Chain A
Amino acid sequence: MTTTADDERRVEDLLAPLAAIPPVTLRPERRRAPGRTWRPLLVGFACLAGVVAAGGAIVTAGRDDGAPRPATSDPAPVVTATLAETVRPAIELTAIEVVGPRVEFVGNADVFEATVQVRLRQGGQVIAETFVTATCGSGCRGTFEGSIDAAAGVDGPATLELFTISAEDGAERDLVRWDVVLAAGGWTAYPPSTDSGAFYVRRVGDLVHAALPSCVATVAIGDIEAQTTVRDDVAFVAIDPETSDILVATTRVGVEYLITVGGPVPEIAC
């Protein structure tokens, strides 16, 4: 006599190998949002004019609220569409998230051997380096995603740089830069003494930013509301300005977690 729970477990075991089947992903040319199709020649001209106007230099800028901002231009797909048929960059960033000392990024590239070099700079010094591999390269455009961590204790403005190494002469090419604000020093880990399930919170106005293990978070405290569906371990949560209570809700499992700063911390499970 088997129970429902037994059957559930058996089916999950049975289907586990399915995870090894590679997913399909959209090729960049199939990802263009309707209404974002630019007229290539005119826009190509406009982009080139912009580069000329900037003296050919990469201009970097950050926002006052500490949120990341692209150092070159908005990396949203509008750029993808703009440059698709003219001078599309070898590397494009499509999303970026700063989680305490970690910078997470998503993008696409058509680069030699699909390898994108990644580093963080602060004050001219390289403080972290890594690389990611796109799903396709050397003549075809693939997607990539990855993260890079600054060392513990490093915080403040920094620049994320993505580039390639030339196969011909070893020179750095195709540089894309993005200003970020690392927040290692100002973030507090909850629960403070465990690695698994730990997340970081930091008050930024009435919203805090948290890193959670595989959560989908929807948050509302009084008039403060934030909702986001997130990848892997990043979520926005809200803080009650009067009580400093932090609410993290995961709609996927239908459970809400109320975390009181400085008080007992409930178990986080997604």
Chain B
Amino acid sequence: MIEAMEREPTTADTYAERLFALHERRLGQFLVHVVRDRGLAEDVLQETFLAAWRSRDQLGEVVNAEAWLFGIARHRALHALRGARRLRLALERIGRDERTPDQGPGPALDVLDLLHRALGPEDRALVVLRHVHGFDAPALAAITGRSPAAIRKRLERSRATLLKEAER
């Protein structure tokens, strides 16, 4: 009777769910760093989960599943930020700000401020993935669809911009 109502989870289902569960906290932290707004970050985290779930059959061909998952999260975060910016401008026009407040110790929030002040969303995601989550240039190339050389160059520029802003 149960089988008639719903199928049993397949290996791909289980693997996709487990993969997400294992990386959920790191993904959640990455998203907070990049989009900052916790409510939006949770929305993007759910979108990442759903997107990974829908693409779970590809997992057998994925070389670096962790990079694959972060690639989905990055793409969704950048997309959400574009929409969020439009929403924020609209809310500001009518005098409302529905962003959820920051959480974390003061020094961490200062760094988050600096990161958002100095870098745009794409560079911010790249720097966080490299220097907070430890992805190297080849992995970042897989995540972003750019070449490792281009990634290195962009990281170099972003680092310089960030350090310059930090010294101001």
The answer to whether A25 and B45 touch (CB under 8 A), given A11-B162, A78-B9, is yes
Closest to A42 in B: B5
| CB–CB A95/B111 < 8 A | no
The answer to whether B80 has its CB under 8 Å from any CB of chain A is no
| CB-based contact A4/B131 at 8 Å | no
CB pair B103–A22 under 8 Å, yes or no, is: yes
What residues of A have a CB within 8 angstroms of the CB of B24 in the complex? Answer: 23, 25-26, 143
CB pair B2 A15 closer than 8 Å: no
Partner of A15, one of B53, B103, B132, B156: B132
A251→B64 contact, CB < 8 A? yes
Q: Is B46 within 8 A of A253, CB to CB?
A: no
- Which of A33-41, A176-184, A189-197 faces chain B? A33-41
How many chain A residues sit at the interface, stated as a range, is 35 or more
Verify if A63 is at the interface (C-beta below 8 Å from B): no
Q: Known contacts A25-B28, A46-B2, A252-B64: does B112 contact A18 (CB below 8 Å)?
A: yes
In the assembled complex, which residues on chain A have CB atoms less than 8 Å from the CB atom of B17? 33, 76-77, 94
* A18 partner, pick from B6, B42, B108, B135, beta carbons under 8 A: B108
A205 on interface, CB distance cutoff 8 Å: no
Tell me whether A171 is interfacial, beta carbon within 8 Å.
no
A147 at interface, CB cutoff 8 A: no
Instruction: Report the interface size for chain B: residues with CB under 8 A from the other chain.
Output: 68
Residues from 10 to 33 in A contacting B, C-beta threshold 8 Å = 10-12, 14-15, 17-27, 30-31, 33
Q: Chain B at the A interface: mostly helix, strand, loop or mixed?
A: helix
Collect the chain A residues with CB atoms within 8 Å of residue B128's CB. 15, 18
Is B112's CB under 8 angstroms from A38's CB? no
Which one of A52-60, A115-123, A226-234, A257-265 is at the interface? A226-234
- In the assembled complex, which residues on chain A have CB atoms less than 8 Å from the CB atom of B156? 4, 7
B79 within 8 A of A: no
Q: A20-B104, A76-B17 are in contact. Are A14 and B28 (CB under 8 A)?
A: no
With a cutoff of 8 Å between Cβ atoms, the chain B residues found around residue A228 in the complex are 65
Q: Mark B30-42, 1 if CB is under 8 A from A, else 0.
A: 0111000010011
A18 to chain B, nearest CB (A): 6
B136–chain A nearest beta-carbon distance, Å: 6
**Which residues of chain A come closer than 8 Å to B111, judged between CB atoms?**
14-15, 17-18
Most buried by B among A10, A15, A38: A15
A35 contacts which chain B residues (CB < 8 A)?
Answer: 6-7
Whether B5 lies near A15 (C-beta < 8 A) is: no
Within 8 A of A (CB), among B36-80: 38, 41-42, 45-46, 49-50, 53-54, 60, 63-67, 69
Contact among A8, A24, A229, A231 with B159 in the assembled complex (CB-CB below 8 Å) = A8
- The CA-CA distance from A135 to B48 in the complex, in Å, is 21
Check if B159 sits within 8 Å of A7, measured CB to CB. yes
Are B65 and A227 touching (Cβ within 8 A)? yes
How many angstroms from the CA of A252 to the CA of B9 in the assembled complex?
Answer: 28
